């Protein structure tokens, strides 16, 4: 595969994630060809881009950033014509991904990268639907909302060429994302596996009566979550470990006491009673709050945090 600069991208599926990617790519000065078969999809997409634009302007638009660089196409094939990279964000079903990737394989230029945002499907489950160029199919899993959250998890399936993964990582880094490399496929990738591990114990804590929904939320949002927004689990252990750092902590009594608790973590039963308990707990937490205002405030604080964190430069 020859190297090509990435200036024109296709976004396939413009729901929650696709629309956010479109905004992100436009803000980075790229041309975007989008498609989505839903009624009214183009109008919804343009409204979403307009809604995202003030935050992207605050974060900083790249030279050439222009909402006029968005075109909308009737089919994935038309959107993928002549592009340098495809970002697929269709429904989370293997059969749909297979159909879409077979079409994109035919339509995208041979040297274009074809990426999927899938959260739970592995590239190897649909890559063989690409009979021409399976080697350029990669995972590029963002975190919602992708126009604000820097993380992108990048990896390949069994037939992906390592140099395509490397090019994809380079591309996402160049447009201001923070890519991480998956050395092998794992369902749920990395960040969602970590989230799910936390959810599992959070559900167990509520179900077994250790603490309320509200207090579990507070235990993260007013506690370790504040540090986790700045540094990951290993660096947080290291910085809390005193002069010995992570080694001293893990080799010492606190490390042994903590890792000795692995077997204490619970296995919640996902029954209707637990779903009701969690839903009612969240409703109680939200009783005095306006959800739309909460989302707006969360997104505003996210923008400030991402911007301040990038400016601080001492954090990895």
Ligand X SMILES: NC(=O)c1ccc[n+]([C@@H]2O[C@H](COP(=O)([O-])OP(=O)(O)OC[C@H]3O[C@@H](n4cnc5c(N)ncnc54)[C@H](O)[C@@H]3O)[C@@H](O)[C@H]2O)c1
Binding positions for ligand X, rule: CB under 6 A? 12-18, 35-38, 76, 89-92, 96, 100, 117-119, 141-142, 144
Quickly tell me which residue has 């077994």 as its tokens.
208
Question: Cα 315 to chain center, whole Å?
Answer: 20
**CB neighbourhood size of 20 (10 A):** 24
Beta strands, E only, 51-124: 70-73, 85-88, 113-116
**Alpha-carbon torsion, ordered 6, 8, 13, 14, to 10 deg:** 110
CA atoms within 13 A on the CB side of 12: 29
Residue 65: CB minimum distance to ligand X, A: 22
Residue 178: CB minimum distance to ligand X, A: 15
- φ and ψ of 311, to 5 deg: -70, -30
Specify the residue, 15 or 281, whose C-beta has the smaller distance to ligand X: 15
Which residue, among 138, 147, 143, has the nearest Cα to 166 in the 3D structure? 138
How far apart (Å, rounded) are the C-alpha atoms in residues 279 and 277?
6
Helix ranges, 186-252 (H): 191-207, 213-221, 224-228, 233-240, 245-251
How far apart (Å, rounded) are the C-alpha atoms in residues 214 and 206?
10
């Amino acid at each position: 595969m020859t190297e090509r600069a990435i200036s024109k991208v296709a976004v396939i599926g413009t729901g929650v994630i696709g629309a956010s990617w479109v905004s992100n790519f436009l803000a980075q000065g790229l041309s975007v060809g989008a498609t989505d078969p839903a009624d009214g999809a183009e109008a919804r997409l343009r409204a979403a881009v307009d809604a995202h634009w003030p935050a992207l302007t605050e974060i900083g638009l790249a030279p050439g950033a222009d909402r006029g660089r968005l075109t909308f196409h009737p089919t994935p094939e038309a959107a993928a014509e002549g592009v340098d990279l495809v970002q697929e964000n269709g429904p989370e079903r293997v059969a749909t991904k297979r159909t879409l990737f077979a079409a994109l394989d035919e339509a995208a230029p041979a040297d274009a990268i074809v990426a999927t945002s899938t959260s739970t499907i592995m590239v190897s489950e649909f890559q063989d639907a690409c009979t021409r160029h399976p080697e350029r199919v990669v995972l590029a899993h963002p975190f919602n909302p992708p126009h604000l959250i820097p993380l992108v998890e990048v990896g390949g399936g069994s037939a992906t060429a390592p140099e395509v993964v490397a090019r994809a990582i380079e591309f996402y880094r160049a447009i201001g994302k923070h890519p991480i490399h998956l050395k092998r496929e794992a369902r749920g990738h990395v960040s969602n596996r970590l989230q799910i591990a936390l959810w599992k114990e959070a559900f167990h804590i509520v179900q077994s009566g250790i603490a309320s929904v509200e207090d579990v939320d507070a235990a993260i949002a007013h506690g370790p979550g504040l540090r986790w927004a700045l540094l990951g689990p290993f660096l947080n252990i290291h910085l809390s470990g005193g002069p010995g750092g992570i080694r001293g902590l893990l080799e010492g009594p606190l490390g042994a006491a903590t890792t000795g608790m692995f077997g204490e973590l619970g296995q919640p039963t996902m029954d209707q009673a637990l779903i009701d308990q969690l839903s009612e707990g969240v409703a109680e937490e939200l009783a005095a709050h306006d959800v739309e205002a909460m989302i707006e405030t969360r997104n505003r604080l996210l923008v400030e945090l991402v911007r301040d964190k990038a400016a601080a430069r001492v954090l990895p």
